[in-house]
Amino acid sequence: MPATDVFHDLVRAQKSGVPAGICSVCSSHPWVLRAAMAEGKQHSRAVLIESTVNQVNQDGGYSGLVPADFRDLVHKLADEVGLPPERVLLGADHVGPYPWADLPAESAIDKACVLAAELVKAGYAKIHLDASLPLQHDSVAKSGGLDPLLVAQREARIAAAAEGALGRAATAPVYVIGSDVPAPGGTTSSQSLPITSAEAFGDTVEACRDTFRRAGLAKAWDRVVAVVVQLGAEFGDGAVDEYDRVRARPVCAAARNHPQLVLEAHSTDHQQPAALQQMVEDGAAILKVGPALSFALRETLFALEHIEAELSHRLSETRSNLRGALERAMDANPRHWRGHFDAQNDELRLKRAYSLFDRCRYYWTVPEVDVAVRRLIGNLRGASIPLTLLSQFCPTACARIRRGELSPDPEAIVEQQIRDVLAIYGAAVNRG
């Protein structure tokens, strides 16, 4: 069965009234990916892993990985976990000109076309087309966006490049359109984005459908399965905009009038479990999550460092000083957090470490930070963590350990905390 059948099955289920969905994991951290795959293996589910255009592209992105490299990394981790490769789905987010915005418009779109072809060759099953970024000399409407027709024309060019690479790929990908969400990497402020109107939804679908067909891409249009919209679920530095299904009702109703299309919801991180379930019930069959998973990783590592401090008298090695290593890495390279926080001094330090934006996630692979994490794990393995300290700093993990459900190994504790977040998504999208 082609991997893309998962998405077509979701569409059919949703249109028949079944609240079915899939969680899209947007992270490159190996522990997060392993946790997602362990959840998928345990529950015999497909696992959708997505990379953003800034993270993975033909120039390496900020991860240093091209699409084939990311595919190989994901499949290697899946093999280590024991998840069958046919249950691993790769997706690409915001495929468009974002990394090349400093180039002339035509050159930036050309680069996006090259990326689309590389994604198809690497076996990506899902591609989110997003050419909504204003480029050099573009005319911008008063609303701040581009003409929907221009966006559709550019996305059709990118889709055509992807379709042109199909001879070297086993399965044609499904496509997602729409862009009423923050740019790749997340929002840069706590300001909420307006909910997509039913009219804007219709304009996006009509412009893309007509443009694709005029461009000879009717078969590609038949594989467009979802539209990205803003449903009012968003998060800022320290607060969450909770999903309100009443406010989202018009755009959800508009989507139900299109038999081949469901909704894709971005920035669902930190939503309440009931809100995620309501989103799926209302037609959002694809729920994207990323920062909430790495937030759980960071939260647990910080808790383990507190335990390490309490056990310093037992350690055979020096303490990890993880927090210090992370601070130095963020100071040395501020590009991943600068512009996200309106604060200074101690307040800035607090936000950089604990914000819901979780800008820490870009720094775990910095060598000094990686060494500190490894030392922390090694120190705690050698010190044998008392249940009393686990109860103080990792109470959920402590309860699982006492029930015999979890190993007291510190790395296993981190993975379980991530899986606890993923389990909330699993409950929301698997109720059919």
In a domain, 424, yes or no: no
Q: Tokens 């969905």, residue?
A: 21
- CATH code where residue 314 lies: 1.10.400.20
Q: Residue 180's pLDDT is what?
A: 77
One domain for residues 164 and 42: yes
In a domain, 92, yes or no: yes
Overall size of the chain counted in residues: 432
**How far is Cα 303 from Cα 392, in angstroms, rounded to an integer?**
9
What SS3 state is found at 216?
coil
One domain for residues 360 and 339: yes
Q: Which two tokens stand for residue 353?
A: 């470490």
* Proportion of the chain in helix, strand, coil states, percent, rounded to 5: 55, 10, 35
One domain for residues 215 and 316: no
Q: How far is CA 17 from the centre of its chain?
A: 26
HSE value, Cβ hemisphere, 13 Å, CA-based, for 69: 12
One domain for residues 231 and 336: no
Sequence-ordered list of residues with C-beta below 8 angstroms from that of 310, at least 6 positions apart, any chain: 389
Q: Residue 95's pLDDT is what?
A: 98
Q: Residue 392's pLDDT is what?
A: 98
Q: Residue 170's pLDDT is what?
A: 65
One domain for residues 130 and 20: yes
Total count of domains within the chain = 2
Burial of 107 (0-12, 13-18, 19+ CB in 10 A): middle
Domain termination site, one of 265, 289, 313? 289
Q: Which helix (H) or strand (E) holds 416?
A: helix 410-429
In a domain, 423, yes or no: no
One domain for residues 202 and 273: yes
In a domain, 426, yes or no: no
Q: Which helix (H) or strand (E) holds 94?
A: strand 88-95
In a domain, 207, yes or no: yes
The angle subtended at Cα 94 by Cα 88 and Cα 98, nearest 5°, is 135
Domain termination site, one of 289, 317, 349? 289
In a domain, 369, yes or no: yes
Q: How many CB atoms lie within 10 A of CB 131?
A: 26
One domain for residues 221 and 189: yes
One domain for residues 111 and 188: yes
One domain for residues 58 and 156: yes
**How far is Cα 149 from Cα 379, in angstroms, rounded to an integer?**
58
Q: Residue 167's pLDDT is what?
A: 82
Q: Residue 190's pLDDT is what?
A: 47
Residue 259 CA: distances (Å) to CA of 11, 98, 201, 221: 8, 31, 14, 13
**What is 338-370 written as a DSSP string?**
TTT----HHHHHHHHHH-TT-GGGGSTTSHHHH
- CATH code where residue 240 lies: 3.20.20.70
Domain termination site, one of 237, 255, 289? 289
Q: What is the pLDDT of residues 44-83, one digit of tens each?
A: 999 999 999 999 999 999 999 999 999 999 999 999 999 9
One domain for residues 100 and 117: yes
Q: Residue 102's pLDDT is what?
A: 95
Structural domain that includes position 76: 5-289
One domain for residues 240 and 324: no
Q: Residue 183's pLDDT is what?
A: 60
In a domain, 358, yes or no: yes
In a domain, 215, yes or no: yes
Q: What's the whole-model pTM score?
A: 0.94
One domain for residues 87 and 24: yes
Q: Select from 63, 40, 39 the least CA-distant residue to 53.
A: 63
Weakly modelled stretches of the chain, pLDDT under 70: 1, 142-144, 168-170, 181-192, 432
